[in-house]
Amino acid sequence: MGPARVIPPARLYFLRHGETDWNAEGRLQGQQDIPLNSRGREQAARAGRTLRKLVAKARPDGAPPDFIASPLGRTRETMEIARSAMDLDPAAYAIDPRLKELSFGTWEGLTWPDVQGLSPTLASGREADKWSFVPPAGESYAMLAERITPWLHELTRDTVVVSHGGVARVLMAIIGGLPIERAPMVEIWQDRPVIFANGRFDWV
């Protein structure tokens, strides 16, 4: 069974953090605090320029949305670069620990082939049910959904969020109703915002 649907009354502009070296190497990053690489910083600036146009179009009165980021360094750096590209004070945003990436526990830092070699039975279990599987000392997507849902209920204003791929997939299930069998498989781009509004999601 999937998570209960939550459709916030406001528009959510979601941006995944820019690329890190661990992303480029295919390592399970989870909650490890890995910084952006040069490509990631370029992606953040490009996404910020896109967001500037989107927000201006949606808010002709000029009223800015709220800005919230995961507390990890790669999301905060992405937020600050994006806000600079929007001609906003880089530091004027909030953080919320509920927006952290899901934890891969003892698998963090490994590539998926590493996991398959070290723990083939567990790797097969995750591939069979990515939504509910809990890595050793880690979290499942289902657990991440429980963490994020109270935050979603608090949203009342249009909000720009910088977070992680796992968080985006869970939002696609909770807000957009994407089946839990599909949500963990969705590729989340690092330089294209996703807009969540009216019970659906759209890539920009």
Q: How far apart are CA 136 and CA 139, in angstroms?
A: 8
Amino acid at 169: R
Any domain includes 5: no
Q: What are phi and psi of 13, to 5 degrees?
A: -100, 110
User: Residue 1 falls within a domain, yes or no?
Assistant: no
**Which structure tokens are listed for 122?**
């567990």
Amino acid identity of residue 57, one-letter, is: K
- Domain of residue 160, CATH code: 3.40.50.1240
Q: Determine, yes or no, domain membership for 4.
A: no
Q: Can you give the pLDDT at residue 135?
A: 98
Asked if 29 and 23 count as a contact pair (C-beta separation under 8 A), the reply is: yes
Report yes or no on 82 lying in a domain.
yes
Catalytic residue among 17, 80, 139, 164: 17
Q: What is the pLDDT of residue 201?
A: 97
**Residue 172 domain flag:** yes
85 belongs to a structural domain: yes
| Structural domain includes residue 3 | no
**Do the domain assignments include residue 2?**
no
Residue linked to tokens 């949606």 = 58
C-beta atoms surrounding 25 within 10 Å: 10
Cα(72)–Cα(40) distance, rounded to whole angstroms? Answer: 15
What is the helix (H) or strand (E) element at residue 67, kind and residue range?
A: strand 66-69
* Single-letter residue type at 3: P
What pLDDT does residue 202 have? 97
Task: Count up the domains in the chain and report the number.
Answer: 1
Q: Is 101 considered catalytic here? A: yes
Q: Which domain holds residue 68?
A: 12-197
Cβ proximity of 180 and 13 under 8 Å:
no
- Give the pLDDT confidence score for residue 173 in this predicted structure: 98
Please identify which of the residues 101, 108, 139, 164 carries the catalytic annotation.
101
Mean pLDDT per block of 10 residues along the chain (204 residues) reads: 91 97 98 98 97 85 88 98 97 98 98 97 97 98 98 95 98 97 97 95 96
Whether 17 is catalytic is yes
